[in-house]
Amino acid sequence: MLRIERLELTEFALELREPFRISSGEVRRRRILLIRAFDGEGASGWGECVAGERPNYSPETIDTAWMAISQWIAPRLLGRRLQDPGQARPLLEADFRGHFMAKAGVEMAIWELSARRQGVALATLLGGTRTRIPVGISIGIQDTPKALAQKVKRALGSGYRKIKIKIEPKRDLEYLEAAVTEAPGHLLMADANSAYHLTDASHLQKLDAFGLMMIEQPLSAGDLRRHAQLQELIQTPICLDESVDCLERLEDMIALGAGRILNIKPGRVGGLAVSLAMHDLCGAHRVPVWCGGMLESGIGRGHNVALASLPGFSLPGDISPSRRYWSQDIVEPEWEMDAEGYVTVPAGRPGIGVRVDEERLAHLAVRREVLTLS
């Protein structure tokens, strides 16, 4: 039995080791919102809201999420008794539309709190079976094909088991050709972040020549019908990301044939309970799934590692080590990748398996709020 006594919100920022660019914008400095859930017995769990600073990837932002948590989410959860963390989901869905990233940050903190109270790893609580997770890398849009080829070469040398290449119109065919030439026979994919339209179908058909494992989210996030039309015109499997933000959209994707692969980001779809439901539905329909990243700190990455330990996550996820993005993370130990391209699931430690450096976090914090019943 869980009773949430208080929630603590903390905002801080981390500078990226290098700029990360996608079709909708560039990030150099990441504002991050952390949520810590406390019970009445001194136990706590951490969650992370993945919303960005601007509404370019999603309508949500870190500031709208903060407001949603303090005004609408916290009052629904504080003082409530939960038999298990999965009961948080219906409380956050009843008569409360959207705000999936805000909901996810709090819900995931409750899952970690529950795992810590039980003294088990979050991966174990979720039903994970893998002890190691194959790691992929996401490479942002580069200035030239040559620059991209150099990034791909370094990624291969580091051991990454999948390489995702961000693309946009005029930075696609030559860039992908350079990547394929540098990494023949390796798992390569393209991610467009909704940069194209159905009228670009004849252009996107040219991607079939590269033998990519998938093209992720080529069209608008809200458009399943046109994705289904595009999939009929191209051989490369379409993977949906932004288009599937809830279980109902996943059901639509499967029914329409709008995508053959799904990228499950727990921080984007509303948390771990809905991610589990998506994992199970995809398994029933033989749809491969993998776990994407949202430039999380080590806390969000810990939740992703736990989720990706489930048996249905058959493709390498974007679960890069801490040093891929940050000079110094806020968790100890930091997430690391071995020479074979795997991250170890910390099954022997409770919760997400890493400790938050609270002293460093306090130094970095720029905003904090404590939410209680009184």
Q: Are strands 289-291 and 132-134 parallel, antiparallel or unpaired?
A: unpaired
Amino acid at 329: D
Check: CB of residue 229 under 8 Å from CB of residue 203: no
Q: What separation in angstroms does the CA of 209 have from each of 140, 173, 205?
A: 22, 10, 8
Tokens linked to 150 = 């150099």
**Considering 151, 162, 164, 265, which one is annotated as catalytic?**
265
Check: CB of residue 309 under 8 Å from CB of residue 289: no
Tokens linked to 277 = 């439901």
Measured CA to CA, the distance from residue 129 to residue 308 in angstroms comes to: 9
Q: Are strands 238-240 and 136-139 parallel, antiparallel or unpaired?
A: unpaired
Measured CA to CA, the distance from residue 63 to residue 365 in angstroms comes to: 15
**Considering 162, 164, 166, 206, which one is annotated as catalytic?**
166
For residue 143, count CB atoms less than 10 angstroms from its CB and return exposed for 0-12, middle for 13-18, buried for 19 or more. exposed
Is 265 known to be catalytic?
A: yes
β-sheet bridge partners, residue 31? 13
Measured CA to CA, the distance from residue 307 to residue 325 in angstroms comes to: 21
Residue the block writes with tokens 């990228």: 263
What kind and span of H or E run contains 256? helix 247-256
Is 166 known to be catalytic?
A: yes
Which residues carry out catalysis? 166, 265
